[in-house]
Structure 1
Amino acid sequence: MQDALMILILAGGASSRMRGADKLLERIDDQPQLARIAQAALATGLPVRVALPPDRPDRHAALRDSPVQVVIVPDAATGMAASIRAGAAGWQGAVMILPADMPEISTQMIVEMVGEHRAHPDMILRGASGTTPGHPVIFPADLVPLLQNLSGDRGAQPILAAHAGRLHLVPLPGQAALTDLDTPEDWAQWRAQRGE
């Protein structure tokens, strides 16, 4: 299993800036964003886990017909590290961290990242827009135990900082690696740019 790669979709956030709405349930191409990104990940043929908080039944419902492995994160409210820690638990191979709120990430982009991982299995691979790092991020198998022991509210930033010499950026089209939409205004502007 050392050469195995799993996609971990982080969907434990509170959507606190959406003023009552849930950004992961915003509809894109007639499906909730959470279902869309799960489908994009599953289309690679790789195993997919989704880290979910216990108190978001609508997110669970959005994945009801999806063959992802749902991981419940009781302490999701403490920050991204809790979701990463729970989602990576027990995994022996490499892990791709994919935030669920990235509406422009496609299967083809994920496949491109996977191809880079196959070519450079010992590197930390990070999706980028030009030279600006974003997501997804692939951690090689030897660093996954560090993911399984994360704490705090900085996600995997401490691991990235400690192993900066192993980081390799993978340019993705446009702003896809950086586009996450946190407010109703963000969503409205993004939809307007798409001509919706």
Structure 2
Amino acid sequence: MRYAIGMSPHTSDSLASLSGPVAGLLLAAGGGRRLGGRPKALLTHRGRPLVERAVAALRAGGCDPVQVVLGAAAEEVRHRADLSGCRVTENPEWDTGMGSSLRAGLTALAATGAADAAAALVMLVDQPRVGAEAVARLVAAHRDGTALAAAAYHGERGHPVLIGRALWPEVMASATGDRGARDFLRAHRERLTPVECSDVAAPDDVDTPPDLRLLE
């Protein structure tokens, strides 16, 4: 396990329960505005929708259950993508930004059969170079005693992000617009464990037409 220099994987956190499974939370609601309105979940990666690749990475990395948040073209995503075994919720406010999808996902996890989940690992659908290896490192960090962690790339914080269950209400309260958990993570940076993943993943987003090369 690669932790940032000076950080201990055995960070104590009185707010967190560190037993129980880690739920995967996939944010896949984006409409791809800068891609000409192509929903990101339906971008093709190796012949299948990108959302399927992300679900597979969460499962292979040790997350169970997997909660998927859809938004743009939700019905088409359900029809074209194999989301069997996933918990799926739709965010009617997806066009307001990532914050509403994060709130919808955490609310769904808290209200469903994921009652025993000790943490949620939040993954973005549009980062095809983040795979099971990065997910597994964050899950392992949680098993080692970390309640708040994020993948780091050459020392810079990125995704996925692991959030202990006791922190979900505060994250939901601060998630607005397109900032997701950014404000929460900044406010709690002293408690955050960075987990270096640059040797197994890269945080590139598929946001604009030139970024589609990442799917090749």
Q: Normalised by the size of structure 1, how large is the TM-score?
A: 0.86
The answer (yes or no) to whether the contact 1:135–1:177 under 8 Å persists in 2 is no
Cα shift at 1:176 = 2.9
For structure 1, which runs of at least 5 residues remain unmatched after alignment? none
TM-fit CA distance, 1:39: 1.5
Aligned counterparts of 1:23 and 1:76: Cα–Cα separation in 2: 12
Cα distance in 1 for residues equivalent to 2:150 and 2:202:
9
Counterpart in 2 of 1:141? Answer: 165
Q: Could you state the TM-score of these two structures normalised by the residue count of structure 2?
A: 0.79
Identify the residue that residue 128 of structure 1 maps to in structure 2: 152
Report the identity percentage.
30
- Provide, for residues 12-58 of structure 1, a one-character-per-residue CA deviation record: whole Å limited to 9, x for no partner: 11210111333332222221111111122123251100011164322
Return the offset for 1:179: 1.1
Residue 173 of structure 2 aligns to a residue whose secondary structure is coil
Q: Tell me, what secondary structure is at the counterpart of 2:149?
A: strand
CA offsets, 1:45-90, max 9 Å, x none?
Answer: 5110001116432222243452110011111111111111111015
Cα RMSD (Å): 2.2
On the 8 A contact 1:127/1:177 being kept in 2, the answer is no
CA-CA distance at 1:151 after TM superposition: 4.2
Segment of structure 1 superposing worse, 19-28 or 137-146:
19-28
1:47 has 2:71 as partner: no
Question: Match of 1:182?
Answer: 207
- Of residues 71, 74, 83, the one that matches 2:92 is 74
Aligned length: 190
Question: Which amino acid in structure 2 is aligned with residue 106 of structure 1?
Answer: G
* Cα distance in 2 for residues equivalent to 1:174 and 1:17: 29
Q: List gaps (5 residues or longer) in structure 2.
A: 1-16
Give the one of 64, 78, 83 matched to 2:101: 83
